[in-house]
Structure 1
Amino acid sequence: MDHQDIIETIKDRGYFIIENLLPDETIQAAREILDPIFTSQRTGRNQFEGFKTQRIYSLPKLGPALWPFFSNPDVLKIIRPLLWDDCLITAALAANVLPGEQPQAFHVDDGFYPIPRPRPAFSVGAIWAMDDFTAENGATELIPYSHKWAEEETPEGVLTLDDAFTRHEPGQADGWHSPANAEIVKAEMPRGSVLIFLGNLWHRAGGNRSNGSRLGLFPQYCASWARTQENFYLSIPQETVATMPEEMQTLLGYNILPPFMGHAGGFHPQKVLPKV
């Protein structure tokens, strides 16, 4: 299936999985950076973050081994046409779902933009499988076609996002139910694959009933005129950005959206980066 066919499929059902897109050595090089950090990383503070889920943010600051997950040309060829032909990285995190974790609350990733649904997606997410994603270990769960739902349409009979953020201790049955008004699809995929989905598609991280952890790497992209979730100008040192390829600098916001959005004191932002 070519890029245009994938784009049309995403527009229709809200998501697409490309299997085995990155070689194992690329996955392993990133894991050699991330796995030692996870050994001492805390778990989440509420049900949404996950009481048995570890997270690392602003991943590009950790070095070149992480950059291929954000600037993959095959992925960007799909995402940019879905976002007015240009995009920025809006979030850059890894989530390690540990055994015993419960499913997340269903949510959409771009719900904080205050424009009523139905509407186009203002962001597109990608999830790279750093382990095999299975039904047992917490593969992402999706509601196909739910990006077309109206403002008042939500998954019924499951944990709400407001409840998830205010719940600071796990409940015995949190999240295991399926919505009463929708069928869910589990994004099972082998290590090295990527799930691409619209930011207004209802989805959640699945619960982990296996004996092992499940690591996913999550680059999220937004239209270049939208505000990003993470403030990379503060979380990633300029000295690090200056060592990156131009594509990565552009995706982090060191670029001009014509005619002049994003300038730095009247100059192209890449010109004010430190010299390396």
Structure 2
Amino acid sequence: MAVMTACHSPAGCELLEQGYTILRGAASASLIGGVARDLEPRFAATPFCEGGFYGERTKRFGRLLIRSPLMGDLVMHQPILDLAELALGNWCERIQLNLAQAIELHPGALAQFPHRDQDMWQGSLGEVEYLVNVMWPLTGFTETNGATLIWPRSHGVAALVEQPAEPPIVAEAEPGDAIVFLGSTLHGAGANRSVVARRGIIVSYCLGWLKPYENQWLAYPPEVAKDFSADLAALAGYAQHRPNLGNFEGQCPSVLFGGYPAEPLAAVDALRPDQGALLADHIGRQRSAHSERAA
């Protein structure tokens, strides 16, 4: 695969080399249990999906940051953010939240079509990583109830090969564990051959200049996101990706946390340092030339 940022932890090395890693006991039982209780009514009310990819014996729903006050702790989990930065930091100025979705796989669910989530975007493949996924089990993930299947070393340039070199592993895990894998890694939910539903949460992070899977500004409009912490709001889209990408009237979209401005706003540069230096040089040369002409 393409060379990425050097890893500084066993989990980071495994993620880059294998395309996935599992962090055992990454979150507390109280945190996962609290999120599970908060999502229970929505699981009960949500209809089954339509279509073979999402799964006709599967339930899915998003907007998890408004469905549980504890979700922010999972989304902002620092060791996970460190892994996302490690995998994606070479290709963006900042990462963003791509998705926060709950999934319930019911008995009789077929194995999901093996896929790579990077295929949502039609960019260069085999060179750039676009996405990092994190599956948080709410119930135990087993081979019988449809635990996620992951094809090791199927990421990066290997994603250009039609047939993976080796069979998948079954990512068995318990609540509190975090199953982390790259957007170029081949994966899919297994078949649920048990008599109980298995539940999990998928949180994913992508390059800050991409269009995310979940439209964050609609999922969390300004009147909702203004109550997030500053870092969480920025991760959910209320920050510009320099230069100037994702602005509102030329300013950071967080300006809307005070309501829609009554008066026109002045557009403000939001440039990377290298761009700022080039701009300063450009303006300086013009001003020098103007001064010489004036003299």
TM-score calculated relative to the size of structure 1: 0.85
Q: Could you tell me the percent identity over the aligned residues?
A: 26
Matched, 1:89 2:101: no
- Which of 219, 223, 226 is the matching residue for 1:242? 226
Tell whether the 8 Å contact from 2:136 to 2:200 is kept in structure 1 after alignment.
Answer: yes
Ranges of 4+ aligned residues in structure 1 off by more than 4 Å: 149-152
1:148-175 deviation line (CA, Å, top 9, x unaligned): 34565234xxxxxxxxxxxxxxxxxxxx
Aligned twin of 1:19? 24
Matched, 1:131 2:139: yes
Tell whether the 8 Å contact from 1:3 to 1:78 is kept in structure 2 after alignment.
Answer: no
Aligned twin of 1:113? 121
Amino acid in structure 2 at the alignment position of 1:249: A
Matched, 1:226 2:234: no
Matched, 1:154 2:162: yes
Tell whether the 8 Å contact from 1:147 to 1:201 is kept in structure 2 after alignment.
Answer: yes
Matched, 1:265 2:238: no
- Deviation at 1:224? 0.9
- Deviation at 1:42? 0.8
TM-score calculated relative to the size of structure 2: 0.80
Amino acid in structure 1 at the alignment position of 2:41: P
Give RMSD over aligned pairs: 1.8
2:176 counterpart SS class: coil
Higher helix share: 2
- Which of 59, 63, 71 is the matching residue for 1:66? 71
Aligned twin of 1:198? 182
Matched, 1:29 2:13: no
Tell whether the 8 Å contact from 1:60 to 1:67 is kept in structure 2 after alignment.
Answer: yes
Aligned twin of 2:197? 213
Show structure 2 runs of 5+ residues with no match.
1-6, 260-295
Number of aligned positions between the proteins: 250
Which structure: larger Rg?
2
Tell whether the 8 Å contact from 2:32 to 2:176 is kept in structure 1 after alignment.
Answer: yes
Aligned twin of 2:10? 5
Tell whether the 8 Å contact from 2:39 to 2:68 is kept in structure 1 after alignment.
Answer: no
2:45 counterpart SS class: coil
Taking a change above 3 Å as real, the CA distance of residues 195 and 3 of structure 1, as seen in their structure-2 partners, is: farther
User: Comparing both chains, which one has the higher relative contact order based on Cα–Cα distances under 8 Å and sequence gaps of 6 or more?
Assistant: 1
Task: Map 1:137-148; keep pairs closer than 5 Å.
Answer: 137-148=145-156
